[in-house]
Structure 1
Amino acid sequence: MIDKKNITKRFISYVTIDTESNPNNPDFPSTEKQWNLAKLLEKELIEIGLEDVELDENCYIMATLPSNLDYDVPIIGFISHIDTSPDFTGANVKPQIIENYDGKDIVLNKEQNIILSSTYFDDLQQYKGQTIITTDGTTLLGADDKAGITEIVSAMEYLVKHPEIKHGKIRICFTPDEEVGKGAHLFDVEKFGADWAYTMDGSQIGELEYENFNAASAKINIKGKIVHPGYAKGKMINSLLIANEYIAAVPADEVPEKTEGYEGFFHLHDVKGDVEETVLEYIIRDHDFDIFEKRKYLMQKIAFDINKKLESDAIQVTIKNQYFNMKEKVTPVMHIVDIVEEVMNDIGITPLIKPIRGGTDGSQLSYKGLPCPNIFAGGHNFHGRFEYVPVESMIKATEVIVGIAQKVTTKYKQ
């Protein structure tokens, strides 16, 4: 159905363009290099025959595949993001294609002895005999979310070339800056005009998600006082030691590396400091809203308790909400999840319905009035050197998109 060679070539063409976003730049997009892929996609969407192709001033790309029906059905959308994570470099990506994967360790970089272990990353075992695309161990790959872009573009191209496949109006959008939490901020839901949408931004084949974390960031500013250490008694206040006390008060078992499923966490991801001032940056995550609120309260209480002991206001905590659990917005329209589950079963994919231990553009879009569950894009080990994607998973994800378009026409036939 979907040409393997073409989908591989398309994916490679996308991931070799550096689109890393920048969490410290408030501009849209946060990096100028995201325009390079955006402009390529604009040209490609026009060439394959989509209509209303628009690349706006904020680097959002929207396009339309018109309906070929003689009756009305809901307008559906598909969304992916063009940026890659700043957690690991996305510059000079050198993809490697492993045909007929044998189930063993994959040498990513012989010179640097970088190995993709088939025992440590045991999900690899399910793709034995397939074609795997990896990095060379020095960059991330960018399957998050260029696999999703590849699948959406390939599905639209397939539907254009096969007009005998009936479908309603389909809208697509590629967003900037999802990896830095801004992908949906300037998304014009009204202009997009879909009744509901799907982000193609999940991981392994079969994933179907409509629950995600509630999320917040916490910035802890700790003020100290530097004096000569030889004369410091009763005068020096070491912000680094206060920071250590704060960190020790956060529950040690409620961290990403010790939690799974619905379990939330506190994640300390950045520390900068000296005696005079230290800044701790955390993210706070939980699926349960009440527990989420308690986590935010705890961050403030730890600061209050230490300040009280020190008889000062050395610690200041700033907490900002980032996104919320889309379950609240998707549950009332669960038929949009049921459609995907039916399509997956129709084409021989076992649906893996589970909560997202993270967030997508879809979580924010759901709260902006566009219910938006998440579908697998096929990649694994996102945001690092061990990222990979099976080509067969991208093909199946493309088939899911086509299948959803078809399923809607039969579900809503008048």
Structure 2
Amino acid sequence: MQHIIDRFISYVIIDTESDANSETTPSTTKQWDLAHKLVEELKNIGMQDVTIDDKSYIMATLPSNVEHEVPTIGFISHFDTSPDFCGANIKPQIVPNYDGKDIVLNADKNIVLSPSYFKDLLLYKGQTLITTDGTTLLGADDKAGITEIVTAMEFLINNPEIKHGKIRVGFTPDEEIGRGAHHFDVAKFGADWAYTMDGSQVGELEYENFNAAGAKVTFKGKSVHPGYAKGKMINSMLIANDFINELPHGETPQETKGYEGFFHVHHLTGSIEETVLELIIRDHNKKKFEKRKELIEKITRKINKKFAKQFGEDIVTAEIKDQYYNMKEKVLPVKHIVDIAEKAMKEIGIKPLIKPIRGGTDGSQLSYKGLPCPNIFAGGHNFHGKYEYVPAESMQKAVEVIVKIAELTAIENSARK
């Protein structure tokens, strides 16, 4: 297991934070640092057809070692980290034989990872945890997934008695800003189906996710000296506040779970003359998703009507862009690919946790590009922040799942012949 820990740490100490404001792919040049390292590592362990394109998408092949026909399967992870929290100068801390008590991440800043708040910690008593030092995120999302895929391929190469078909692996940039699958060449990848290793807790197996959209709402105003503002000033910040208050109460990320959708206001910047509100819209149900987008437009029209005479033109504009859709529609027709992953987990003693993703992965976009792609746990918790951690044992379990899926795909396909 030390081999997995060492490999994981060698990845997370490389800063690969993506940038939503960049128009390039990858969105940050520093992502190339890990991309080039991964290319060399894939070659060193014995993978074939290792390629990297001009946008840093990496692909590689493990050839089949059976004579009968087997579907080509793939495993995919992303190497960028979220811009939501600092991803530079990561200093991982190793906590062996976790005792179930508070973990002091940073004594100087009094930052503590506590099971009294993060109850999932108690699932891992006696295991080896890898944490942050309290000043950065860790990057287990999704460098744990990359670690697991590389390690599983290395294991299969070193143990040729384990039979498998052709396996393709793919590593992508910019997943955290919603672009990970934008330039992914599905035809070049050439897999019948794939799995993203991008989930959290051990056992997670997901094939349905949110329908997602982003909205940018701009509010105009009129600035007048406050002493003479009666009937003249229009404060765009207050209009933005009215807009937010029109959204359904209780339908926010912190107040919803499971299949419940939400509106999430994540950025608000403004002055009297102009305020810009950014929010995301999420729902598993396609009809409810469309109604949520319609509500944004309805509120916009209501406010414009209210200020039409005073302002003389539209005082609010809303730009809504779809981001990705629920992969369930594309995966259900090939549900056996989920069944194989579920069986793999059961055969190695893992209880599958089949549930909807309260978010999205590259797999949701790839499924709509013709590559059905359920999501499997990578083992990390508390992504995108200083409390992020991953148990080394969870990464080891994910490696075993990958290997078992490869084995079952070959065996079950042979049995159908």
Could you say which TM-score interval applies, normalised by the shorter chain? over 0.9
1:45-194 equivalences under 5 Å are 45-194=42-191
1:260-271 equivalences under 5 Å are 260-271=257-268
Would you say 1:378 and 2:379 are equivalent positions?
yes
Counterpart of 1:412 in 2: which secondary structure?
Answer: helix
Structure-2 separation of matches of 1:30 and 1:134: 26
Identity %: 69
Residues 275-316 of structure 1 deviation map (CA, whole Å, 9 limit, x = unaligned): 000000000000000000000000110111111111241000
Match of 1:200 in 2: 197
Match of 2:41 in 1: 44
Structure-1 separation of matches of 2:239 and 2:413: 61
Match of 1:222 in 2: 219
Structure-2 separation of matches of 1:152 and 1:67: 16
Residues 43-68 of structure 1 deviation map (CA, whole Å, 9 limit, x = unaligned): 00000000000011001000000111
Residues 343-376 of structure 1 deviation map (CA, whole Å, 9 limit, x = unaligned): 1000000000000000000000000000000000
Structure-2 separation of matches of 1:119 and 1:240: 38
Please report how far the alpha carbon of residue 227 of structure 1 lies from its aligned counterpart in structure 2 after TM superposition.
1.9
Letter paired with 2:234: I
Q: Please point out which of 245, 250, 254 is paired with 1:253.
A: 250
Structure-2 separation of matches of 1:39 and 1:225: 52
Match of 2:299 in 1: 302
Cα root mean square deviation, aligned: 0.6
Letter paired with 1:400: V
Please report how far the alpha carbon of residue 226 of structure 1 lies from its aligned counterpart in structure 2 after TM superposition.
1.1
Letter paired with 2:117: Y
Residues 85-104 of structure 1 deviation map (CA, whole Å, 9 limit, x = unaligned): 00001000000000000011
Match of 2:350 in 1: 349
Structure-1 separation of matches of 2:231 and 2:84: 41
Counterpart of 2:6 in 1: which secondary structure?
Answer: helix
Structure-2 separation of matches of 1:207 and 1:120: 21
Please report how far the alpha carbon of residue 138 of structure 1 lies from its aligned counterpart in structure 2 after TM superposition.
0.2
TM-score (norm 1): 0.99
Please report how far the alpha carbon of residue 228 of structure 1 lies from its aligned counterpart in structure 2 after TM superposition.
1.7
1:24-35 equivalences under 5 Å are 24-35=21-32
Counterpart of 1:25 in 2: which secondary structure?
Answer: coil
Please report how far the alpha carbon of residue 234 of structure 1 lies from its aligned counterpart in structure 2 after TM superposition.
2.2
Match of 1:314 in 2: 315
Would you say 1:368 and 2:369 are equivalent positions?
yes
Q: Please point out which of 211, 221, 234 is paired with 2:231.
A: 234
Match of 1:13 in 2: 10
Counterpart of 1:303 in 2: which secondary structure?
Answer: helix
Question: Following TM superposition, where does structure 1 have runs of at least 4 consecutive aligned residues deviating by more than 4 angstroms?
Answer: none
Structure-1 separation of matches of 2:128 and 2:79: 23
Counterpart of 1:92 in 2: which secondary structure?
Answer: coil
Structure-2 separation of matches of 1:139 and 1:285: 27
Q: How many residues align?
A: 411
TM-score (norm 2): 0.98
Structure-2 separation of matches of 1:232 and 1:383: 44
Counterpart of 1:244 in 2: which secondary structure?
Answer: helix
Structure-2 separation of matches of 1:176 and 1:245: 38
Structure-2 separation of matches of 1:139 and 1:50: 33
Residues 168-201 of structure 1 deviation map (CA, whole Å, 9 limit, x = unaligned): 0000000000000000000000000000000000
Structure-2 separation of matches of 1:149 and 1:163: 22
Counterpart of 2:218 in 1: which secondary structure?
Answer: strand
Please report how far the alpha carbon of residue 318 of structure 1 lies from its aligned counterpart in structure 2 after TM superposition.
0.5
Structure-2 separation of matches of 1:168 and 1:184: 24
Please report how far the alpha carbon of residue 233 of structure 1 lies from its aligned counterpart in structure 2 after TM superposition.
2.0
Letter paired with 1:314: I
Counterpart of 2:98 in 1: which secondary structure?
Answer: coil
Counterpart of 1:47 in 2: which secondary structure?
Answer: helix
Ranges in structure 2 where 5+ consecutive residues have no aligned partner:
none
Residues 107-163 of structure 1 deviation map (CA, whole Å, 9 limit, x = unaligned): 000111000011110000010000000000000000000000000000000011111
Would you say 1:336 and 2:337 are equivalent positions?
yes
Letter paired with 1:197: A
Structure-2 separation of matches of 1:406 and 1:179: 31
Structure-2 separation of matches of 1:244 and 1:67: 59
Structure-1 separation of matches of 2:264 and 2:146: 29
Would you say 1:389 and 2:386 are equivalent positions?
no
Match of 1:210 in 2: 207
Structure-1 separation of matches of 2:229 and 2:301: 25
Letter paired with 2:342: E
- Which range is displaced more, 241-250 or 188-197? 241-250
Residues 257-288 of structure 1 deviation map (CA, whole Å, 9 limit, x = unaligned): 00000000000000010000000000000000
Ranges in structure 1 where 5+ consecutive residues have no aligned partner:
none
